[in-house]
């Protein structure tokens, strides 16, 4: 637990540990984080929509660029909106996030890999139809 | 509060022997808010894993149009851009609402929650309009495997947003009726996490489904 929280607990000895303070926190400091996040996310979204339809760049690079922009934007959302940080309170959250990302990658990558190979090894559809007659 | 009462609280798993030890114990115990946030974060990750299965299904079936229309002919990127703007702004206003709630500022909380609801409802309205248009054009979920996967993936996200809107109204009612109690504020934290996670899924969705569909 952070030092500052320990400090605050000293001021409220009547409250059981682990309970929130009854009065509010500073509100203004949080707004700045959200504004930064909104700005970055808007920028990345705008670039995504621009890249998708432009003829200025080499066409096969577009899906890769879109994927990179999307991953960057998810990172922005995690840091500035969900406020996943590297602080000591957040170690569990970050570990869970890594595990989730691992499962998502296995699911997506595994499905695409297996289905692409099945498609490649399968008999063309018209031949299957002929065999069924 | 005496030490006995403190040990009776559900999350004080440290040794709390007396009032003198409370200060020491506070250094070791995690706040309830952090534990609740962690638990809800695990749920959100499981929800994201479920979505990744729908994403994988869509990616496998995207080419199987059965002679029907492909994404390139169906998707209207202008509509998608407006939807994206609605959801991104609602994510921002939801964050403001959470800050307002934690700071016990009614005008911030109610104002930002109302804005979040209007933006979320606009998103759902646009999506329903798009779905109705597709069905009217004969491109409903029964047309091809591609469209089945499309309606499942996008529809599932839409259902999540709809559930989020109901939750939003519930949170406003709870704060109105019960005030800024600690348990209500923890629920508000969970709601804002949920709403931000929906926006993250929408980022993956508009990129993979709409932008890549229209570009390829």
pLDDT value for B193? 94
Instruction: Convert the pLDDT of each residue in B193-210 to its tens digit.
Output: 999 999 999 999 999 999
Residues B41, B132 share a domain: yes
Tell whether A15 and A76 lie within a shared domain: yes
Name the residue among B12, B16, B15, B14 with its Cα closest to residue B32. B12
Query: In total, how many domains does chain A have?
Result: 2
**Is residue B144 a contact partner of residue B42, using CB atoms and an 8 Å limit?**
no
Number of domains in chain B: 2
Looking at residue B216, what is its pLDDT?
66
DSSP H or E segment with residue A125: helix A125-132
Instruction: Give the whole-angstrom CA distance, residue A118 versus residue A31.
Output: 50
Q: Which residues contact B171 (CB under 8 A, 6 or more apart)?
A: B113, B184, B187, B188, B191
The domain in which residue A54 lies consists of: 1-83
Residues A17/B14, Cβ–Cβ less than 8 Å: yes
Question: Quick check: A16 and B182 in contact, CB under 8 A?
Answer: no
Q: Which residues contact B100 (CB under 8 A, 6 or more apart)?
A: A27, B106, B107, B108, B109, B111, B112
- Residue B6 belongs to what domain range? 1-30
Shared domain check, B50 and B15: no
C-beta atoms of B204 and A74 within 8 A? yes
Q: Identify whether residues B199 and B101 lie together within a single domain.
A: yes
The CATH number linked to B164 is 1.20.120.80
Q: How large is the ipTM? A: 0.81
Same domain, A75 and A116: no
- Structure token pair of residue B16: 């709390």
B70: left (phi over 0), alpha (psi -120 to 50) or beta: beta
> In A, which residues are within 8 Å of B41 by CB distance?
93, 96-97
Picking from B96, B101, B89, the residue whose alpha carbon sits closest to that of residue B188 is B101
Q: What pLDDT, on a 0 to 100 scale, did the predictor assign at position A11? A: 46
CA–CA dist B210, B134 (Å, integer): 14
* Per-block mean pLDDT, blocks of 10 residues, chain B (216 long): 44 46 54 89 96 95 88 91 96 94 92 97 96 93 94 96 97 94 93 95 95 82
User: What is the separation, in whole angstroms, between the first and last Cα of chain A?
Assistant: 72
Same domain assignment for residues B72 and B163: yes
> Do residue B37 and residue A6 have CB atoms under 8 angstroms apart?
no
Gap from B137 CA to chain A (nearest CA, Å): 24
Are A8 and A57 members of one domain?
yes
Instruction: Verify that B149 and B182 share a domain, yes or no.
Output: yes
Q: Residue B76, SS3?
A: coil
Let me know whether A125 and A64 are in one domain: no
- Structure confidence at residue B27 (pLDDT): 52
- Min Cα–Cα distance to chain A from B138, Å: 25
Q: Hey, is the C-beta of A13 within 8 angstroms of any chain B C-beta?
A: yes
The pLDDT of residue B3: 43
| Residue B85 CB neighbour total at 10 angstroms | 16
Whether residue A45 and residue B102 make contact (CB cut-off 8 A), yes or no, is no
List per-block mean pLDDT (blocks of 10 residues) for chain A, which spans 133 residues: 46 47 58 92 94 86 93 94 80 92 95 88 77 76
pLDDT value at position B43?
96
Residue B11: predicted pLDDT: 46
Q: Judge if B81 and B107 occupy the same domain.
A: yes
Q: Mark whether A76 and A96 lie in a shared domain.
A: no
């Amino acid at each position: 637990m952070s030092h500052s929280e320990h400090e605050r607990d000293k001021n409220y000895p009547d409250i059981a540990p682990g309970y929130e303070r009854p009065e509010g926190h500073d509100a203004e400091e949080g707004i700045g984080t959200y504004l930064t996040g909104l700005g970055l996310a808007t920028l990345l979204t705008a670039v995504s929509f621009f890249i998708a339809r432009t003829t200025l760049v080499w066409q096969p690079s577009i899906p890769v660029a879109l994927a990179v922009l999307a991953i960057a934007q998810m990172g922005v959302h995690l840091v500035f909106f969900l406020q996943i940080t590297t602080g000591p309170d957040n170690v569990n959250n970050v570990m869970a996030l890594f595990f989730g990302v691992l499962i998502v990658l296995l699911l997506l990558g595994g499905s695409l890999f297996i289905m692409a190979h099945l498609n490649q090894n399968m008999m063309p559809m018209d031949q299957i139809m002929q065999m069924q007659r | 509060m005496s030490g006995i009462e403190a040990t009776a609280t559900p999350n004080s798993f440290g040794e709390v022997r007396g009032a003198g030890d409370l200060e020491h114990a506070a250094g070791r115990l995690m706040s309830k808010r952090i534990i609740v946030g962690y638990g809800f974060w695990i749920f959100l990750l499981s929800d994201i894993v479920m979505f990744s299965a729908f994403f994988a299904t869509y990616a496998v079936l995207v080419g199987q149009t059965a002679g029907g229309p492909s994404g390139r002919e169906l998707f209207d990127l202008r509509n998608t851009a407006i939807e994206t703007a609605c959801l991104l702004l609602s994510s921002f206003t939801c964050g403001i609402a959470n800050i307002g709630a934690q700071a016990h500022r009614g005008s911030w909380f109610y104002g930002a929650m109302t804005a979040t609801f209007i933006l979320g409802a606009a998103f759902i309205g646009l999506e329903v309009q798009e779905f109705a248009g597709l069905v009217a054009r004969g491109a409903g979920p029964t047309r091809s495997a591609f469209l089945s996967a499309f309606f499942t993936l996008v529809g599932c996200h839409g259902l999540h947003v709809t559930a989020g809107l109901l939750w939003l109204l519930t949170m406003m009612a709870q704060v109105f009726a019960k005030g800024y109690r600690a348990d209500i504020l923890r629920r508000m934290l969970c709601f804002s996490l949920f709403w931000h996670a929906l926006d993250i899924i929408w980022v993956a969705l508009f990129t993979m489904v709409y932008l890549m569909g229209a570009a390829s």
